[in-house]
Amino acid sequence: MVAKRPQDRPEWAEVLKILSDPAMEPAATRHPAIVEAISSALAKHQEQEKQNLESARKARETERQRLLYSHSCKALLERLRPAVEQFNREFQLGKIEVGEEYGMTYYHLPTAKTIQVNFFAPSRTGIRIRGGVIVGGGWIGLNAGRSANLVLLRESDDDLYGHWVVCEIKLMALTNPQRIIGQFGITAQTVQPFGFNESFFYDQIRYVQGGLHVFTYDVVDNVEDYFASLIADGCK
């Protein structure tokens, strides 16, 4: 009512209506642009909340898969323990000493040779072999000796932990070894059969399904037998 410009003052009907009901607030002006801004901000907030929930879900699933994979890796090492215990129980002139360093497990033989086992980061590859999908891998072998890849296969979504197999890689008979040195992590000191390091494992293990390639792949189902054979080789 005290606005200097008469057109800015409320009509008498509005003044009387407010005076007759003091609890009623004057009607606020709603600018269309502000209404649009609020609608846009609300939609953006809801979309951000949706993304946050999806990110949290993915993080929980990733952590769940990490824990399952970690369990599978530890379970495999436990399966290797009986061979070590048998050797240490029956051989009186030395023991296999087991150690861990930088995420790798070492089996130091009395002959000064060492078997090494390490696991790679898990990956949902979609690569199917032997009725299962490759979801993880690793490396097992003698220092300056033969080696192979560990391959974790999951047969279905209900197969939470999967099962491990061994895969030995060799050069095809017609392949010139000199042309391969420096590629795929292979050096002049690489002994066949061998296993790929983590940098090349997931890219190259897909060829175990078949197809023309410079390598041959031999899958061994019994990891314990393979480990025992490494001990035997290391003691020669």
CA distance 131 to 39: 52
Mean pLDDT of 209-236: 91
Number of domains in the chain: 1
Q: What is the pLDDT of residues 40-94, one digit of tens each?
A: 999 999 999 999 999 999 999 889 989 999 999 999 999 999 999 999 999 999 9
CB 116 within 8 A of CB 105: yes
Count of alpha carbons within 13 angstroms of residue 77, beta-carbon side: 20
Whole-angstrom CA distances from 18 to 25, 31, 67 are 8, 22, 66
Question: Is 41 part of a structural domain of the chain?
Answer: no
**Range scoring the smallest mean pLDDT among 26-30, 54-58, 211-215:** 26-30
Residue 21 lies in a domain: no
Identify the domain containing residue 171 by its residue range.
61-234
0.85 cut: is pTM over it?
Answer: no
Residue of 169, 150, 181, 178 lying closest to 213 (CA atoms): 169
Name residues whose C-beta falls within 8 Å of residue 149's C-beta, 6 or more positions apart in sequence. Answer: 137, 138, 139, 140, 166, 167, 168, 169, 195, 196, 201, 205
Q: What is the C-alpha separation between 218 and 119, in angstroms, rounded?
A: 19
Percent of the chain residues topping a pLDDT of 90: 69
- At residue 20, the pLDDT reads 76
Burial class of residue 205 in the structure, from the number of CB atoms within 10 Å of its CB (0-12 exposed, 13-18 middle, 19+ buried)? buried
Q: What's the mean pLDDT when you consider all of the chain?
A: 90
